[in-house]
């Protein structure tokens, strides 16, 4: 698999066919690199040799096949003299070429997003026809990695703007949908439209009432939003099925939103506890995601520890567990977007959840009528057990690891 895409970018090359003569003793007559393009019937080597003698050009390359010409170092006034030769079509300044590397975060590699036929990770920036709500601290509305649907932004927390005041929400959004644009990072579903729904303040804290406000907004726009990610949680339990009076307003709101067609993906939590003690992770109607410790994007446990002391290719030592876990996904040392147009590496089930939200988005692109339960089943079915299941896993069940290669 390719772990990075490289592109060669050539700087602007102004044509100097009519360079005015400049005195050699002026500061502007500095030595530079030039490309000389000749008429097609010229002997490139002969003309280059002539110009080296007549104009003191220092020849670097002579071209005789793709074009007729040569490259040389000379002063600006010498280049002007060369350009005046009737055998010369034009003279241009040489350009600087560089590789532009788009980083594939380890999590993107591990879930095989770069091989997904729907994601089409090929270095071409293409918007994806799917909408994902990020219910979080907001999202950097101007981040170059994200296609943020500003008209679909909502602040249920402090202030009026859904712009990210913390960084967490932007990081989540980047893992879901960072663009395939040959710089920065790339997401699982690159170019998906992001709806920022701010329910947490600048410290990453919010009330259940604010979270319900966000869910309410998503439900009101369920005709456009296919997937919602909630990398957040609080203490609580699942007190009953949807439709029962269980005095859990958050659960009832999610029930109604899922019934409207929105697939919810949520973080299991970072307390190394049973997810049954945390909401929304405990709810059956959502896709609850635990975190895999992965340091190199490959199975086998050979990754060298980077930002944490976890054991590579096993469940992260902070991750919640239990019967409510539906999938596991990479959640340690994840590189993604950050507020202020920046990037950051952080860990948590908050980082695992958006990998799955991106997978859900990919599935909805090709299965637009799929119900949330069908999306969950499809992602579980596409998952693999190709990770090291520790004998001491508290819940005794090896959850499938997200894999989007076939989505």
| Catalytically annotated residues | 136, 168, 350
How crowded is the C-beta side of 256, counted as CA atoms within 13 Å? 14
Residues 51 and 79 sit within 8 Å (Cβ to Cβ): no
Phi/psi at 232 (5° precision): -160, 170
Instruction: Give CA–CA dist 60/70, Å, rounded.
Output: 7
Instruction: Give CA–CA dist 184/144, Å, rounded.
Output: 9
The order of strands in the sheet holding 58-63 is 58-63, 69-75, 31-38, 88-93
Residue entry with tokens 């329910």: 199
Angle, CA 107 vertex, CA 263 and CA 192 arms, to 5°: 45
Instruction: Give CA–CA dist 154/169, Å, rounded.
Output: 13
Phi/psi at 264 (5° precision): -100, 130
Instruction: Give CA–CA dist 353/65, Å, rounded.
Output: 54
């Amino acid at each position: 698999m390719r772990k990075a895409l490289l592109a060669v970018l050539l700087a602007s090359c102004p044509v100097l066919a009519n360079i005015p003569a400049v005195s050699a003793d002026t500061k502007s007559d500095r030595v530079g690199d030039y490309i000389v393009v000749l008429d097609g019937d010229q002997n490139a080597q002969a003309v280059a040799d002539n110009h080296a003698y007549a104009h003191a050009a220092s020849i670097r390359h002579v071209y005789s096949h793709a074009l007729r010409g040569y490259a040389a170092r000379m002063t600006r006034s010498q280049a002007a003299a060369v350009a005046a030769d009737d055998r010369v079509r034009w003279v241009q300044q040489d350009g600087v070429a560089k590789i532009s590397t788009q980083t594939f975060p380890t999590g993107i590699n591990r879930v095989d997003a770069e091989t997904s036929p729907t994601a089409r990770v090929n270095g071409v920036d293409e918007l994806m026809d799917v909408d994902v709500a990020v219910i979080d601290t907001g999202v950097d509305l101007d981040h170059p990695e994200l296609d943020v649907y500003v008209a679909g932004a909502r602040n249920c927390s402090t202030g009026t703007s859904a712009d990210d005041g913390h960084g967490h929400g932007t990081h989540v959004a980047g893992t879901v949908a960072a663009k395939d644009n040959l710089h920065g990072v790339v997401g699982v579903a690159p170019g998906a439209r992001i709806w920022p729904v701010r329910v947490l303040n600048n410290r990453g804290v919010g009330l259940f009432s604010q979270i319900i406000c966000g869910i309410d907004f998503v439900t009101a726009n369920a005709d456009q939003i296919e997937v919602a990610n909630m990398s957040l949680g609080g203490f609580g339990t699942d007190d009953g099925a949807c439709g029962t009076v269980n005095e859990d307003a958050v659960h009832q709101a999610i029930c109604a939103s899922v019934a409207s067609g929105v697939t919810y993906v949520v973080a299991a939590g970072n307390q190394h506890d049973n997810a049954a003690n945390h909401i929304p992770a405990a709810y059956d109607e959502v896709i609850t995601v635990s975190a895999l410790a992965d340091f190199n994007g490959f199975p086998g446990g050979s990754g060298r520890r980077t930002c944490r002391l976890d054991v590579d290719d096993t469940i992260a030592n902070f991750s919640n567990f239990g019967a409510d876990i539906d999938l596991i996904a990479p959640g340690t040392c994840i590189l993604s977007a950050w507020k202020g147009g920046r990037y950051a590496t952080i860990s948590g089930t908050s980082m695992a959840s958006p990998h799955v939200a991106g997978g859900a988005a990919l599935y909805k692109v090709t299965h637009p009528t799929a119900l949330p339960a069908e999306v969950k089943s499809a992602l579980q079915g596409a998952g693999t057990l190709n990770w090291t299941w520790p004998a001491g896993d508290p819940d005794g069940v090896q959850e499938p690891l997200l894999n989007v290669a076939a989505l």
